[in-house]
Amino acid sequence: MLRKAPVGARGMAPGTASGAALPLTTDDMCPVCKTIRYLNKDMEFLINPECYHSMCSNCVNRLFNDGPNQCPYAGCNRTLRRKGFRSAFFGDLTVEREVDIRRRVAAVFNQAEDDFETLRDYNNYLQMVEDLTFDLVSGAEGKRPAAEAQLQQWEAEHKADIERNRKAGREADEQARRRLTAEREAARQRRIEAIKEAEDEKLERARSREAELDTLAQAPEGQRVQLKRRGQTNRAGGATASAVETTVNTAIAAADVGRLSIRGLKEKRKAPAPEGPYDPFGGSDFVPSRYKVGEGLAHPQVEKYRFDQQHITGGYSFDDYTARAMFEAFAGLGVFIEDEKEVGIGMSAGQVATIGAGIAAVGDRMELD
């Protein structure tokens, strides 16, 4: 199963006949010391762009720590230095080499579009660079040195330009980096403000509830009943028998609603009208779900904002509000849930577990149905 990897057999320096036939990494064994990766899981392969012959890091240290030395591959006469070695970025060393060459070319031919009179000139330039790169990467015997010479000549002639472009590039890089950091910070800031928004809201809600309770306490007989009922629900948080009952009833009530909507989902999925007209609502029943509420139902607490300029200009929608209020009211359970929902700071691991199990249960049932 282990392929024999004769040292040197596959390796050819980039200068030789076909630059494409470069050594391939033997994933499993170092061709120099024959250590098998299987026996040493952390074994790392390194290459040196002088010749792209790969070997394990142990070999590199052993052979090159004391100074420059010859490549251990048979027939390869390159002198290699320790600091030239790096781990290969690509599995395929042919690609690795091409990338290196391209990077070198790009550093020299670093003109930007703005440097050209017309788009056509720029495209011609890109074409020229691409041809030259091709010759360097996989050009025939004669072409490669010519391309190399061309590259060096251009580098010498355009030193100042290249340097200027490099600086500009670095500045742009730096700018982009700064912009990115700023974007990240802004995103973080938005999250923080959203948190603060929530905290303020909770505080205020607690305050207004207290105020409400005060008013109710001073209210005439009839309304005091409401206060009492609230008290009861609060106690239901404890472990009394009636609490269990309430809970179970609530759960069953909710389960009914839930089951209905699961069925509904199913049915829709069953009838995916293959070539009917496109339904922008995606199959959901198009029931106008907004309760149209007449003026009569106005609540003074709400009314006082209806003509508030800040609400109007900001686009605040009172229709949405009344629709939601009606929805919650008709749903019947709104008040009590509102009380119970705000259990406090964040959530405990227990609460998470409870939700997790709940979601899982719904998921299971959806599959069952």
Partner 1 sequence: MAVSPLVPYPSGALPSRPGTSPLKLQASANASLNGTPLLARPAGHEIQGLMSLDLVEQMNEEEKRKYVKGKKLGEGTYANVYLGHSRQDPAVLVAIKKIKVQKEYKDGLAPDAVRELKHLQELHHSNIISLLSVFSSKDQNLNLVLEYLPLGDLEMLIRDVDRVRYGAADIKAWMGMLTRAVWFCHDNYVLHRDIKPNNLLIAADGEVKLADFGLARGFADPGRKMTANVITRWYRPPELLFGARHYSGAVDVWSVGLVFAELIIRAPFLPGNSEVEQIALICRQIGTPTEENWPGVTQLKEYTVPSDTVAVWGKDAYMGRFGAVGAEGVDLLIKTLVLNPKKRITAREMLEHKWWRTDPKPTRKEELPRKSSGADEKMGSDLKRRPGMLDDETNPRGAKVARKLDFGAAK
221 counts as binding partner 1 under rule CB under 8 A? no
For residue 206, which of 341, 346, 311, 320 has the smallest C-alpha distance? 341
User: What residues numbered 308-347 form the site for partner 1, per CB under 8 A?
Assistant: 308-318, 320-321, 324, 327, 331-333, 337-338, 340-347
- Find how far residue 2's CA is from the centre of its chain: 40
Q: Closest approach of Cβ 65 to partner 1, in Å?
A: 26
13 neighbors 37 (Cβ within 8 angstroms): no
**Per-residue contact flags (x/-) with partner 1 for residues 109 to 148, judged by CB under 8 A:** -x-xx-----x--xx--xx--x--x---------------
Judged by CB under 5 A, does residue 73 bind Zn ion?
A: yes
Q: Which residues contact 334 (CB under 8 A, 6 or more apart)?
A: 328
DSSP state of 259: H
Question: How many Cβ atoms are within 10 Å of 62's Cβ, its own excluded?
Answer: 15
When binding is defined by CB under 8 A, the residue of 34, 159, 235, 259 that contacts partner 1 is 259
Task: Determine the 3-state secondary structure of 292 from DSSP.
Answer: coil
| Residue 223 interacts with partner 1 (CB under 8 A): yes or no | no
Residue 262 lies near partner 1 (rule: CB under 8 A) = yes
**DSSP-assigned letters across all residues of 210-247:** HHHHHHHHTS-HHHHHHHHHHHHHHHTTSS-HHHHHHH
* List 5, 12, 46, 59, residue binding Zn ion (CB under 5 A): 59
Instruction: Considering the complex, state which of residue 77 and residue 261 has its C-beta at the smaller distance from partner 1.
Output: 261
Non-local (6+) Cβ contacts of 57 within 8 A are 43, 44, 45, 46
278 binds, among Zn ion, partner 1, none (CB under 5 to 8 A by kind): partner 1
Q: What's the closest the beta carbon of residue 225 comes to partner 1, in angstroms?
A: 23
Residues 6+ apart with CB under 8 A from 107: 162, 166
Nearer to partner 1 among residue 145 and residue 237 (C-beta) = 237
- Which of the stretches 68-76, 264-272, 273-281, 347-355 binds Zn ion when contact is defined by CB under 5 A? 68-76
Residue among 59 and 137 whose Cβ is closer to Zn ion: 59
